[in-house]
Structure 1
């Protein structure tokens, strides 16, 4: 069964009963002609409907919470599990097949919720940033982001191993502990951004470049997102900035939001205050991971495993730019 709610196609065979009830509540509560019902932004035609690129059959990738495209290896995506799992990152290809896995020495996976890629302290090197930023109960006084050069995969190296040189960026918020699942790297400024999850108006925090790895950073609260979070399924659970810094994706459990930066002077916070476009998204069992493809020709999404379902790697191809 398929319906459209707020202009987003929802595939009901993938939804939990709780999510189905939540999605139907607005239409059940008011008539079709009720003038108080807000009109949602139209679904953008810039990207195609999803294509199933393949299943992620690796049973150890069961709680994928983040995904990002490699910038040093062709057709490679990086992903990871969330809370309580090993401190590992996984390389999969664009068909969902596992290529290798790397242990991050000295790291702990308390609640890894997102992964990002971008510049870092050494010019010309692509760095991966793994965000141990989940905090469901908002009890942790500080959080960690692990930063390290992206592994190179080629015929001369083993596809996997141990990352020995990861740096730990320890941070705390100026307004108390928070839960978050979205980590961004702005390639134009090299600043890190974190978007909070459980607030009525999501809070955006910035860690200006260069980020210290020797002392705890007090993150800067840039401001609150002016888009009210309408419920638990609309909370931001992942995001990515394109490698040229021009395009931003933020996803919830039920939609993908898109912004395009027109100039280099517009900050990520200012960009998020603008009205986003709604991109195509087929709701997944517990979809938290989203990332641009290498050349921005589209975006990938990946869900955590739910029950007997095997996570599928979906791709949404750009039709025009």
Structure 2
């Protein structure tokens, strides 16, 4: 919604525990399909395609995030080797799915030594000014990717990684196409510890999440099966070691290892989104893996993260699934903060926008927040 619009209070269920039946079935190895999550206690419906991106401008959509300030807007970006741009997809255009704005980042990425490899996008309050920022994660590095033998493809990668907080523009015209240059971008270069020995070596990541106040970011490893045992392959999680709201733009920030998680059901992690309550993170996985929920015993504390359950299967066989986001578009009021968006990195454009609705019957309200603002 546009800035200054009256905000309507939307209720959101935030159940801490999955149902006992799920725990029993999981222990017996009988879990299939989708289950409940912390923010959706009754479980999810199967994914449906609700619209298509009406353009080939985004040939390889590698990330997706829902706007909070702009009603009906999803933001996405392309993978490595493409333009350094963010694209606004409107769900209120006629037909829905039109790209209505782009934000160019060339002025900022051109000063880096290497071409950007944007792998994920997030949204938070800006760390350096008022308003909301879109975070573009230049975090990919195929050279550093660990192979099945546990060793990196090369030890001479020399990759450099950047997190860029781009002030989100106001979107008012859902029938046009606005070209914008990014302004007042905050960026930090992040650096992995590198002792030459695992786990303190750089990694390849395609999943980034940011705290809603913009103070901290986390990167999750895209990890191929260790010795071909995908189910017992640890994926590292690194976090920024300093408060991003108190460092200058263009600072270099060390990353620190905070935890490892197993690839869910053996599928490598290709995208993620953190719920603004800090009580749940959703991850997207490659191929036919689907989407999975992780819960936190302490909000935003990744040392307490634990696997919850599978929340969406890839029943539509989305090719190259690499992007996932909680829904804050307000296109379906009861789904705000509950439903999930997917988009494919299929490489041709015109991708379907996949929507996963939360089953809304029988809710017990535990907390509230407003559309148009994060809690």
TM-score by length of 1: 0.78
Change (3 A) 1:229 1:248: closer
Runs of 4+ in structure 1 deviating by more than 6 angstroms, as ranges, are none
**Structure 2 residue 185 is matched with structure 1 residue 166:** yes
Change (3 A) 1:46 1:188: farther
- Determine the C-alpha separation between the residues in 2 that align with 1:245 and 1:151: 25
Q: Residue 20 of structure 1 aligns with which residue?
A: none
Q: Residue 129 of structure 1 aligns with which residue?
A: 135
CA RMSD of aligned residues (A): 2.6
1:292-311 per-position Cα deviation (integer Å, ceiling 9, x unaligned): 1102130100001256x841
| Residue 142 (structure 1) aligned to one of 160, 174, 185 | 160
Q: How far does residue 263 in structure 1 lie from its aligned partner after superposition?
A: 5.0
Change (3 A) 1:214 1:161: closer
Q: Is the 8 A contact 1:107 1:146 kept in 2?
A: no
| Residue 311 (structure 1) aligned to one of 351, 363, 366 | 351
**Structure 2 residue 216 is matched with structure 1 residue 191:** yes
- Determine the C-alpha separation between the residues in 1 that align with 2:100 and 2:30: 41
> Which residues of structure 1 form unaligned runs of 5+?
1-36
| Residue 109 (structure 2) aligned to one of 107, 110, 123 | 107
Q: How far does residue 76 in structure 1 lie from its aligned partner after superposition?
A: 0.1
- Determine the C-alpha separation between the residues in 2 that align with 1:217 and 1:122: 16
- Determine the C-alpha separation between the residues in 2 that align with 1:284 and 1:163: 31
Q: Residue 291 of structure 2 aligns with which residue?
A: 256
Q: Residue 12 of structure 1 aligns with which residue?
A: none
> Which residues of structure 2 form unaligned runs of 5+?
1-26, 36-41, 145-156, 194-199, 225-232, 329-335, 364-375
- Determine the C-alpha separation between the residues in 1 that align with 2:74 and 2:310: 24
Q: How far does residue 122 in structure 1 lie from its aligned partner after superposition?
A: 4.3
| Highest RCO, 1 vs 2 (Cα 8 Å, sep ≥ 6) | 2
1:71-92 per-position Cα deviation (integer Å, ceiling 9, x unaligned): 1100100000000101100000
The residue correspondences of 1:1-321 to structure 2 (distance < 5 A) are: 39=29, 41-42=31-32, 43-44=34-35, 46-94=43-91, 95-104=96-105, 105-107=107-109, 109-122=115-128, 124-138=130-144, 139-154=157-172, 159-174=178-193, 175-187=200-212, 190-198=215-223, 200-207=233-240, 208-210=242-244, 212=247, 213-225=249-261, 227-228=262-263, 234-253=267-286, 254-261=289-296, 264=299, 267-271=301-305, 274-282=306-314, 283-294=317-328, 295-306=336-347, 310-320=350-360
TM-score by length of 2: 0.68
- Determine the C-alpha separation between the residues in 1 that align with 2:131 and 2:46: 34
